[in-house]
């Protein structure tokens, strides 16, 4: 999660919402990503999607079984669905997102009946630090 926070700070420096994600397999970092929808002119360029894309390239397959994705904010609905589709084993996130979260904030995508893959989800890891980074960004933008 510390590496995901570093990536989030990089997104902040680039003027993006500060969210970072790291994909890990067997205690080895496979890939990372930071938010870049603004700079990339791409509404899908969330940190999780960037990490999943890089991980798929690194492993030579879109199926990312036996991986854990660490992300500084609860994944949104789009990212949660992509995580299921990629067959990530576990998601560990920092801050909860009551406005757009796909792991229970708005809807629990991971708990939907009928999905062909189950993802273990753990939230609240370094939540205070992750949340403070996001709150600082939005407070600065609103002032």
Identify the three-state secondary structure at position 103: strand
Residue 14 CB-half CA count within 13 A: 18
Examine the residue annotation and report whether 50 is marked as an active-site residue of this protein.
no
Q: What are the backbone dihedrals phi and psi of residue 28, each rounded to the nearest 5 degrees, phi first?
A: -115, 130
| Catalytic pick among 16, 48, 50, 74 | 48
CA angle 79, 47, 117 (to 5 degrees): 30
Catalytic residues: 48
């Amino acid at each position: 999660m510390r590496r995901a926070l570093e990536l989030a700070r990089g997104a902040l420096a680039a003027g993006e919402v500060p969210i970072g994600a790291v994909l890990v397999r067997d205690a080895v970092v496979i890939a990372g990503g930071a938010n870049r929808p603004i700079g990339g002119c791409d509404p899908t360029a969330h940190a999780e999607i960037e990490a999943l894309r890089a991980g798929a390239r690194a492993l030579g397959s879109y199926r990312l079984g036996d991986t854990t994705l660490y992300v500084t904010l609860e994944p949104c609905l789009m990212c949660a669905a992509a995580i299921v589709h990629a067959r990530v084993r576990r998601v560990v996130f920092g801050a909860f997102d009551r406005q757009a979260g796909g792991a229970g904030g708005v809807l629990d995508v991971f708990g939907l009946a009928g999905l062909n893959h189950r993802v273990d989800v753990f939230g609240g890891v370094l939540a205070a630090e992750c949340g403070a980074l996001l709150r600082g960004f939005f407070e600065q933008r609103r002032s």
